[in-house]
Structure 1
């Protein structure tokens, strides 16, 4: 385990858990507490269809991810997502999990947890109940105990698995529907007991319980903490009209859960549009109704500032959950896109079947940067291309960049990516070293600068390596979506 990760574990272990049971009083975070930021993560893009996403079908140009239309198992994509997570202050991926042997399980175990840079983040399972229990009206909980035993044997012991108070965390989707069934709570109790007896783990289970107008404290008592996955419907944005009252509604529901004694893990989202993968839900723009794309991001930051951060709780690691890092089917992602001009047109026959007239943009790193800024008290304004950290872009940045060439963020001799690396060197992609990937960022920020400028400042025996690097990057982000027959089968529950 990297020294970085030991520090993170010690911070977790130091959290004061003063709750006396779920329905007893729980402590609130102080205004000075920095939250732990997690994001729902989807490792399913080896089999899912990018054409079933709004952004792949925008017109006149798509809004593809900067990492490309690439499979989740690609180690370069995982590394880029780790870099972007550092940029956005995300330290936890709540990874979608659909059962033993699923593509999500395979990628998590064989690609993510084994990645050379896995130790820079924490990981937990987001248990996709709709894929394990069946229908809400006639659920079958027979998979719950074997699933938990499988996770205990194969995943919980990973040194980078996320723990609260030393307990492996499992986020469980839409419990607010399944745990109305009388068999649900006994099934979860049996799964907990089986794992504890066989492996000694006491799972910390987070229920998806904050949703309706009244908080069900009895149902929530079966969980160690509660959250909401579907911020879109919970807040009232699902009517397609987004107003400040939606933010207030979300904050009120978190407060109700808190008043009932629950340890709340608030959720936030930048917007919602799943019309490329399923019918029935209203699209939201990423701005308030009546505003324009120039105001995009305000809904996200208001959810963070007014609904999320006031309700993070030390009993649940001051955790704030973002829906999502890369759920492109529902357009909740904050993963970086290419920059593209605003448009309300898509490639449907009508030209607006998917957008419903809402305007979207290729937003770049906007939402990662907003998340960092609003969850890191006193964070400096870091500018891509500002290699000398003086707040502007000028020729001095080129000299400063050259002076930092190949410098690494080392902890006990191990290169570690992250925010600390970005604060102390022009490591613009947060990967722990200043190299050609960062020069690519410099070139975008300083368009008048040529590769020859860097070669003049450095001794590079093979200058064509720059061209090869840029060609590889261009080819990567230029990939078109691949088709697949598998559809996303999880959506907003209204």
Structure 2
């Protein structure tokens, strides 16, 4: 959605901006480092249950010449075979859990979640809930999601319904025995956020659940928890009180119009590392900051009129289709891992409206699209023919991340 100088993921609105663990972690394993016991690496990817329905919102791949994109006959979220294939491919890439997107008032989401849960290989994988917090009433005018007593109750009901549905599943992701819930766009919440999060914890605890909440708090500019009545609601300062309500924080995306084109020609590495460090230091490392990585960004297939510039999948001209993913993993995400809570998110497994998908995809490399200029959608960058290059890159770099954790002798929680 259109925002006042900052970006957020939106499937209906626009975006703007100024500026794994080995599975043993889930069941209690660990790896020794410098005389201390530390958990192993957890790698999760955001996963969507909306295919092929969401193709109607538009994708870049549908405008390429030749036309490309996920095969709707092979990728329907209503078919358990789709989840089985995705789980198998994700495991091969080194991913060990999906953060499954869930809108609480969409019947097809519930039905498709049921199909996902019937995947025969789910018992060898993990998943957690990725809750669409802006369903509570995001205000596009001032970029806020105000917390009211009614919204607190709605949040309680949503959390309890999902908990009763899936927390008992043996494949549900737990950290130290606590079921993980990722909350999208908490950085827009205003008002009695503490009451809402604390109230949900009490409701869940009354039913025997102790949730591990991960908030989407990290970004270049965020909404003030208690914004002024006059003036901008936004700030570049981490909202520490809001951050402390969560067990960990992350970013869904760090896309910025400042760092578009070929990322290797920008200062994106230095700025993202500094941002993650700033958020970590805001709580003196008490609240873990979990890095995120994306293969690129292009939402022009769904939001052409907003004219967001492309962040190419190629790090530099002539480099491979997963070189941006590779560089951001090795130079930002891996060095920014919290050694005491090493969790890394990938945005995303199968998000093709914003072209951040990393799942294997067929196609032919091309810069040509079906616009009047032949490049309104691609902006002259190459798309198509990625195949399983992202999976191979993830597998290689995740192995590197595990080695990094084994040799990391740092005692602080915040990266340098």
- The interval holding the TM-score normalised by the smaller chain is 0.7 to 0.9
Q: Give the Å deviation of 1:131.
A: 2.3
Contact 1:34 1:376 in 2 (8 A): no
Contact 1:127 1:170 in 2 (8 A): yes
Structure 1 residues 138 and 374, CA gap change in structure 2 (3 angstroms): closer
Q: Give the Å deviation of 1:58.
A: 0.7
SS at match of 1:360: coil
Q: Is it true that 1:149 corresponds to 2:160 in the alignment?
A: yes
- 1:365-400 Cα offsets, whole Å, 9 max, x none, are 000100000011499xxxxxxxxxxxxxxxxxxxxx
Structure 1 residues 343 and 249, CA gap change in structure 2 (3 angstroms): same
Aligned partner of 1:321 among 327, 332, 345? 345
SS at match of 2:180: strand
Separation in 1, partners of 2:276, 2:93: 23
Q: Give the Å deviation of 1:173.
A: 0.9
Q: Give the Å deviation of 1:241.
A: 5.6
Separation in 2, partners of 1:201, 1:64: 40
- Equivalent residues in 2 for 1:49-448 (5 A)? 49=55, 52-59=58-65, 61-65=66-70, 70-108=75-113, 110-135=114-139, 136-137=143-144, 139=146, 141-142=151-152, 143-178=154-189, 181-197=190-206, 199-212=207-220, 213-233=236-256, 236-237=258-259, 239-240=260-261, 242=263, 243-260=265-282, 261=285, 262-278=287-303, 279-280=305-306, 281-288=308-315, 291-316=316-341, 318-340=342-364, 342-377=365-400
Structure 1 residues 33 and 297, CA gap change in structure 2 (3 angstroms): farther
Q: Give the Å deviation of 1:101.
A: 4.7
Root mean square deviation of aligned Cα: 2.7
Separation in 1, partners of 2:58, 2:314: 23
SS at match of 1:187: helix
Larger radius of gyration: 1
Structure 2: segments with no counterpart, 5+ residues = 1-21, 221-235, 403-416
Q: Give the Å deviation of 1:221.
A: 0.6
**How many residues were matched structurally?**
351
Structure 1: segments with no counterpart, 5+ residues = 1-6, 17-26, 380-494
**Displacement over 6 Å in runs of 4+:** 27-30
Q: Give the Å deviation of 1:56.
A: 2.1
TM-score normalized with structure 1 length: 0.66
SS at match of 1:161: coil
Q: Is it true that 1:36 corresponds to 2:42 in the alignment?
A: yes
More helix by share: 1
Structure 1 residues 263 and 275, CA gap change in structure 2 (3 angstroms): same
Q: Give the Å deviation of 1:170.
A: 0.8
Separation in 2, partners of 1:335, 1:269: 12
Match of 2:23 in 1: 8
Separation in 1, partners of 2:218, 2:35: 19
Separation in 1, partners of 2:246, 2:352: 29
TM-score normalized with structure 2 length: 0.77
Q: Give the Å deviation of 1:184.
A: 2.1
SS at match of 2:371: coil
Structure 1 residues 154 and 324, CA gap change in structure 2 (3 angstroms): same
Structure 1 residues 138 and 91, CA gap change in structure 2 (3 angstroms): closer
